[in-house]
Amino acid sequence: MPTYKAPVEDVLFLLNDVFHLERYNNLPGFADATPDVVQAILAEGAKLCEEVIAPLNRVGDQEGCRRAEDGSVRTPSGFKDAYRAYCEGGWMGISAPAEYGGQGLPTTLNTIMQEFVSSANLAFGMYPGLTQGAIAALYVHGSEEQKRTFLPKMIEGAWTGTMNLTEPHCGTDLGLLKTKAVPNGDGSYAITGTKIFISAGEHDLSENIIHLVLARIEGAPAGTKGISLFVVPKFLLDGEGRPGARNAVSCGALEHKMGIHGNATCVMNYDGAKGWLVGEANRGLNAMFVMMNEARLAVGVQGLAQGEVAYQNAVAYAKERLQGRSLTGPKSPDKPADPIIVHPDVRRTLLSIRAFTEAARALVLWTALRSDVAHRSEDEKERQAAEDHMGLLTPVVKGVLTDLGFDSAVKAQQMLGGHGYIEEWGMSQFVRDARITQIYEGANGIQAMDLVGRKLAKDGGRAVMAFFNEVGAFCQESGADEAMKPYVAPVSQALGHLQQATMWFMNNAMARPDNAGAGAYDYMHLFGLVAMGYMWARMAKAALARKANGGDAAMMDAKLITGRFFMERLLPETAAHLARISAGADAVMSLPAEAF
Amino acid sequence: MPTYKAPVEDVLFLLNDVFHLERYNNLPGFADATPDVVQAILAEGAKLCEEVIAPLNRVGDQEGCRRAEDGSVRTPSGFKDAYRAYCEGGWMGISAPAEYGGQGLPTTLNTIMQEFVSSANLAFGMYPGLTQGAIAALYVHGSEEQKRTFLPKMIEGAWTGTMNLTEPHCGTDLGLLKTKAVPNGDGSYAITGTKIFISAGEHDLSENIIHLVLARIEGAPAGTKGISLFVVPKFLLDGEGRPGARNAVSCGALEHKMGIHGNATCVMNYDGAKGWLVGEANRGLNAMFVMMNEARLAVGVQGLAQGEVAYQNAVAYAKERLQGRSLTGPKSPDKPADPIIVHPDVRRTLLSIRAFTEAARALVLWTALRSDVAHRSEDEKERQAAEDHMGLLTPVVKGVLTDLGFDSAVKAQQMLGGHGYIEEWGMSQFVRDARITQIYEGANGIQAMDLVGRKLAKDGGRAVMAFFNEVGAFCQESGADEAMKPYVAPVSQALGHLQQATMWFMNNAMARPDNAGAGAYDYMHLFGLVAMGYMWARMAKAALARKANGGDAAMMDAKLITGRFFMERLLPETAAHLARISAGADAVMSLPAEAF
């Protein structure tokens, strides 16, 4: 049975030593987040995840969700109690606005908790995760009345949220969307259509489910410019704002999936369900993007989270399993064999995961802090820079962290040999669960196109130039420090590769857009490696400083070694990405479709 | 519902144009394999796989195997009939020795059929696959009486075979093996112990199951030098050689696995079961290696096979699914959107799979032909060279083809987006099934250590030098041909990386074996890339020749484009592998075990 321990120490190192949380004290909500408070909050969150939510992971996988004939859906045993504990702990609204009942603490804290929950139980974490996304969308685009009606109940967790985009014939290309909205004449609309792959579309955790639904108002333009966003509660509210009559929306079926069995993935049928417009008509995609961007970052965190928990269980096995002898002579001569952690290839595998997860966690926190700045700073320039960063890094975090999170789960499973393939050991579930993160919220190929086709050139390349400047300046400043050289030199070189690739697109993709399309995926990963390399350089600097101050030598040494491993083993991939990008679209595009 | 079409055309191109099958006519069995006969055999095999075996793939996944209380095991619906059809077609013994009822045709033909069967239904293919491995082991190491007793029945498929190595506390490290063999005094032994992960250990397909079991004879030395091989039939044979009394061996449980549900993976309990020594006492590992080497090549083929069938289904989806518009303007203006195969990233993904599978198939056939030479040539030098090749390439085929086969299945699944994650589309099964190939028959990390720790230095590096010479000579010869330059130049460079890496091990691993261990996995993949690059160069040469002769321009153009894609997109990875290898073991080994 797999176990989980939340990486609280590592998070505190990042918040305090690397990102200096105290420097953000001028932002609303941050002054309350003193080091002591943060530590206490994280300890509390860790406990909930380790002791209540993680033990339900396997139960959720085995039982799955069950739909009754009346369309109601039962979540796996224990999920209801765990959800109640989560809500009672105030986790749903930890970073939500105080005016609607939230605690107003930094988003960064919520992001950390998202990692812990997603490691403990990915399928479970999606119920609150989608609710938080819906809260964000309603907060930004809902009317004052909608906010007053829905947000307090959602922030306390009594009501949950969903996002309804996909239809059988359209996922990525929402312009093809068919679900219809017909005005009822009373300000509401009658929504009719079928939505598929709706996570948490129906379940028994909450008193009401608040669906955010994309639909096309009768007579609206074709394509993406005729899509509007509606709020459609499962139960219509009575005069006192309490769930009353059942709305005409129901779960038609549950999907049978490779993983995340504990989450109810529903076919949702809207049969003239009553809904209300959120934001402007025909601007629904714009409104939904608030939720999608939140969700994309959260999904990146899920990828990291599955890599982390898979790593922990692979390490536990590698320390216990006795098999073979070290190449340099027995290390446990009193035992029939050495633990497999003595073998270089086992260590290489484990370090590959760890060098990724620790950098990914840093990247996530860096981005989460920027999100706080974007939402809370009073300085417009600072806000803009933070928003630039978010736009640029969102596809990278989503695409790269989920690809590497999945790879990490596969690598961790491999450490257990045949036992990894047997369900009772739990490693298979990490792999099967992690797999969805590469697919949903925009498949990773779409993230790559978002990065290359949209984010790079936006505002004259302002965001990417700022990123280059920041990484370049850090390398410049730290390059003179002898102890930093093993970190700075490789990152400088990798940054050079990224800049060359960017330049290659500028020179070759205008005239031939397929050159961008054919190189986009490699570019996304190249970008991710540079960003994670930069995170390692900053962590190394912080580790050297803390060590110099006499703190936690063992933990800091581990950081420095893992960082070196990243430079030597993961970062060299940037040259291969650059070579692939520079090869262009010729070989990719010249095969006729029928020859595939 | 996924479908499968056996790649007969591609195989014929390889046999006729690339490897010139007719040049092997001096070997026994090859004279019968005229082009017409081969084509007819492959067409027949393709039909069986496409129409009978493939349609049972999903059934097998969903139903799985069921164990009754009496320990008997039922295979999924339809498996029995399909197995009968396979045996009646003579496929079990197609390459088996004629003296025991086989057809004596080239092993290469059997290898091709293994690919087809493993694409159609991996779980099903394991039943005959293990039987063929057991036939090989008994043929090489069994006594004349054992051969007469078991081989004819196994070759006709009436009896199946298994290999019993793993025990709960030992997989890779067989020296820890505890199963005991006590002489009964009549030439037989009483075998007692528990074996786990025994594929096809118990089932309802055959009249008898012939277990090959590793055990330790009472008083034998500890470690691997005290292990013997025994043949243990499920039913003891009566006076006329027919299955009679039940032997004391039974299936204690079936494992619940991530995939290959259609194959019975058994815990086998031996309670004083009657067995007979195969080959010499205490030389059991040596005897079992015949079966393991056969199995390792077959598992490499399974990896390729899953990549191939996943590719075919991803292509079908990419041609049908309408979503978005081409970057260069609508390609299907009459439809609401273009098929996704217009998108460069979709093509890049599909070509990544295909550039691998076609090279992998060539590598497999090249190696299979060498296997035929090794077993059938009368020229001792030729035999030795072929055996050198087999020894060197076996870990590469097993390790690299299964890693890339799994990656290919994952990539293909990704093409279907959310539908790829839903079980009814079948892509999840390809991923779940392919995953085992990286684990069983020696996890891929073990293959890497076999290659670097054993095969490289064997006989003074004779095998690897021969490989370098062959690839180098080909590049030299073909380098002057302008049309071949896009293939030869990258392969030459990649070969240089491989030679540098080999040299690095020679200079750095003697004094510090961990340097070999830390670089072994990258070396295995570097080797695989060079070998596949060489295959592409040979295929390009053959394609240019056939095109010059006016043959199949469309198919040959596709070969040439896919080969270019390989050079531009897959082969650049060799530099990254070399960089990682040259980084050595420092960062890998310096983290204390407790710091993981």
pLDDT single digits (tens) B372-408? 999 999 999 999 999 999 999 999 999 999 999 999 9
* pLDDT band of A431, cuts 50, 70, 90: very high
Q: How far apart are CA B109 and CA B132, in angstroms?
A: 13
- As a whole number of Å, the CA-based R_g of chain B is 24
Question: In degrees, to the nearest 5, what angle opens at C-alpha A345 toward C-alphas A343 and A346?
Answer: 65
Q: Is A253 on the interface with B (CB under 8 A)?
A: no
pLDDT at B248: 98
What's the gap in Å between the CA of B565 and the closest CA on chain A? 5
Q: What Cα–Cα distance (Å) separates residue B574 from each residue in A368, B396, B577?
A: 36, 15, 5
- CB-CB contact of A497 with A579 (8 Å): no
**Nearest-CB residue to A171 (from B319, B417, B431):** B417
Nearest to B595 among A256, A440, A554 (CB): A554
Alpha-carbon Rg for chain A in angstroms:
24
Interchain pair B257, A422: CB under 8 A? yes
A397/chain B closest Cα distance in angstroms: 18
**pLDDT, tens only, A103-153:** 999 999 999 999 999 999 999 999 999 999 999 999 999 999 999 999 999
Tokens 């009942």 -> residue = A101
Is residue B123 within 8 angstroms of chain A, CB to CB?
A: no
Residue A249 · residue A273 · CB < 8 Å: yes
Rounded mean pLDDT of A175-188?
Answer: 97
Chain B residues with CB under 8 Å of A569 CB are 580, 583, 587
Q: Which residues of A touch B561 (CB under 8 A)?
A: 587, 590-591
Name the residue of chain A whose CA is nearest to B260's CA. A421
**Spatial contact of B448 and B520, defined as CB atoms under 8 Å apart:** yes
Contact assignment for A173 to B342 by CB distance below 8 Å:
no
Question: Would you say residue A1 has pLDDT above 90?
Answer: no
- The C-alpha of B193 sits at a distance from chain A's nearest C-alpha, in angstroms, of 18
- pLDDT tens-place string over residues A472-485: 999 999 999 999 99
Q: Find where tokens 């295979």 sit.
A: B75
**Given a cut of 90, is residue B551 above it in pLDDT?**
no
Q: Is B320 on the interface with A (CB under 8 A)?
A: no
pLDDT in tens, A485-496: 999 999 999 999
Query: At residue B101, does pLDDT exceed 90?
Result: yes
Residue closest to B24 by CA, chosen among B512, B365, B272, B349: B365
Average pLDDT, chain B: 97
The helix (run of H) or strand (run of E) holding residue B234 is none
The pLDDT value recorded for residue B292 is: 84
- Look up B382 and say whether it is catalytic: no
Whole-number Å distance between alpha carbons of A265 and B350: 28
Q: Do A593 and B421 touch (CB under 8 A)?
A: no
Q: Is the dihedral of CA A194, A199, A200, A203 positive or negative?
A: positive
B414–A319 CB contact, under 8 Å: no
Size of interface A-B (CB pairs under 8 A): 256
**Residue A291 confidence (pLDDT) above 90:** no
Q: What is the pLDDT of residue A55?
A: 98
Q: Mean pLDDT score of chain A, rounded to an integer?
A: 97
Beta-strand ranges (E) seen in A97-184 are: 159-164, 180-183
Query: For A520, which residue in chain B has the nearest alpha carbon?
Result: B345
Distances (CA, A) of A555 to A10, A559, B332: 9, 6, 58
pLDDT band at A420 (very low <50, low <70, confident <90, very high): very high
Residue B574: both structure tokens together? 């060799």
Residues of chain A with Cβ-Cβ distance to B328 below 8 Å are 513-514
Retrieve residue B122's tokens: 């991996």
pLDDT exceeds 90 at position A410: yes
Q: What is the mean pLDDT of residues B187-211?
A: 98
pLDDT tens track for A511-560: 999 999 999 999 999 999 999 999 999 999 999 999 999 989 999 999 99
Residue numbers in A near B518 (CB within 8 A):
344-345, 347-348
The pair phi, psi for residue B264, each rounded to 5°, is: -80, 110
If you search the block for the tokens 């200096």, which residue do you land on?
Answer: A20
Q: What is the pLDDT of residue A293?
A: 85
Helix, strand or coil, per DSSP, at residue B551: coil
Tally helices (H) and strands (E) across chain A. 19, 11
Residue A292: what pLDDT? 84
- Contacting A residues, span 495-514, partner chain B, CB-CB under 8 Å: 513-514
Query: Taking CB atoms and an 8 Å limit, are A588 and B565 in contact across chains?
Result: yes
What CA–CA distances, in Å, run from B85 to A217, A439, A561, B540? 58, 40, 58, 38
CB contact under 8 A, A443 and B417: yes
Using 50, 70 and 90 to split pLDDT, how confident is the model at A288? Answer: confident
- In this structure, the dihedral spanned by the alpha carbons of residues B71, B72, B73 and B79, taken in order and rounded to 10 degrees, is 170
| Model confidence band, residue B176 (pLDDT cutoffs 50, 70, 90) | very high
> Does the pLDDT value for residue A356 go beyond 90?
yes
For residue B357, what are its two tokens? 């599978």
Q: A87 CB contacts (<8 Å, ≥6 apart)?
A: A156, A157, A158
Report how far residue A53's alpha carbon sits from residue B38's, in angstroms, rounded to the nearest whole number.
59
Q: Is B588 in the A-facing interface, judged by CB distances under 8 Å?
A: yes
Query: Cβ separation of B576 and A579 shorter than 8 Å?
Result: no
ipTM: 0.97
Residues 65-84, chain A: which have Cβ within 8 Å of B? none
- DSSP track, A498-532: HHHHHHHHHHHTTT-HHHHHHHHHHHHHHHHHHHH
Do the bridges between strand A228-233 and strand A159-164 make them parallel or antiparallel, or are there none, so unpaired? unpaired
Does residue B329 sit at the A interface (CB-CB below 8 Å)?
no
A255 part of contact set with chain B, CB < 8 Å: yes
Decide if pLDDT at B226 tops 90.
yes
Residue B291 clears pLDDT 90, i.e. is over it: no
pLDDT digits (tens, 9 = 90+) for B458-515: 999 999 999 999 999 999 999 999 999 999 999 999 999 999 999 999 999 999 999 9
A381 in reach of chain B (CB within 8 A) = no
Give B345's contacts in chain A (Cβ within 8 Å): 445, 448-449, 517-518, 520-521
pLDDT of residue B1: 83
B480 touches chain A (CB under 8 A): no
- Cα(A343)–Cα(A326) distance, integer angstroms: 6
Catalytically active residues of A, by annotation: 441
Residue type, B103: Q
Concatenate the DSSP letters of all residues of A168-211 into one string: TTBSS-GGG---EEEE-SSS-EEEEEEEEEEETSS-SSSSEEEE
- pLDDT at site B293: 84
Residue where the block lists tokens 């714009």:
A286
Q: pTM to 2 decimals?
A: 0.98
**Overall average pLDDT of the A349-370 stretch:** 98
Separation of alpha carbons B423 and B61, rounded Å = 10
Rounded to the nearest angstrom, the minimum Cα separation between A381 and chain B is 34
Query: Are the Cβ atoms of A439 and B417 closer than 8 angstroms?
Result: yes
Q: How far apart are CA A215 and CA A270, in angstroms?
A: 11
B411-425 pLDDT tens trace? 999 999 999 999 999
Instruction: Say what percent of chain B tops pLDDT 70.
Output: 100
Q: Is A272 helix (H, G, I), strand (E, B) or coil?
A: strand
Given its phi and psi angles, is residue B573 left (phi above 0), alpha (psi -120 to 50 degrees) or beta? alpha
Q: What is the pLDDT of residue B287?
A: 86
Q: What share of chain A is helix, strand, coil (3-state, %, to 5)?
A: 60, 10, 25
CA distances to A48, A508, A570, B348 from A583, rounded to whole Å, are 50, 11, 22, 12
Q: Does A554 touch chain B (CB under 8 A)?
A: yes
pLDDT, mean of residues A284-305: 91
pLDDT at B288 over 90: no
The per-residue pLDDT for B389 is 96
Please report which confidence band the pLDDT of residue B214 belongs to, taking 50, 70 and 90 as the band edges. very high
Q: Is the pLDDT of residue B222 over 90?
A: yes
Residues of A in contact with B438 (CB under 8 A): 414
Q: Is B379 helix (H, G, I), strand (E, B) or coil?
A: coil
**What is the number of other CB atoms lying within 10 angstroms of the CB of residue B548?**
10
**A196 with B418: Cβ contact below 8 A:** yes
The answer to whether residues A56 and A42 touch, using CB atoms and an 8 Å cutoff, is: no
User: Which of B1, B419, B136 lies closest to A258 in space, CA to CA?
Assistant: B419
For chain B positions 512-531, those within 8 Å of chain A (CB to CB) are: 513-514, 516-518, 520-521
CB spacing of A170 vs B410 below 8 angstroms = no
Catalytic, out of B441, B477, B482, B573: B441
Local confidence band at A287 (pLDDT 50, 70, 90 cut-offs): confident
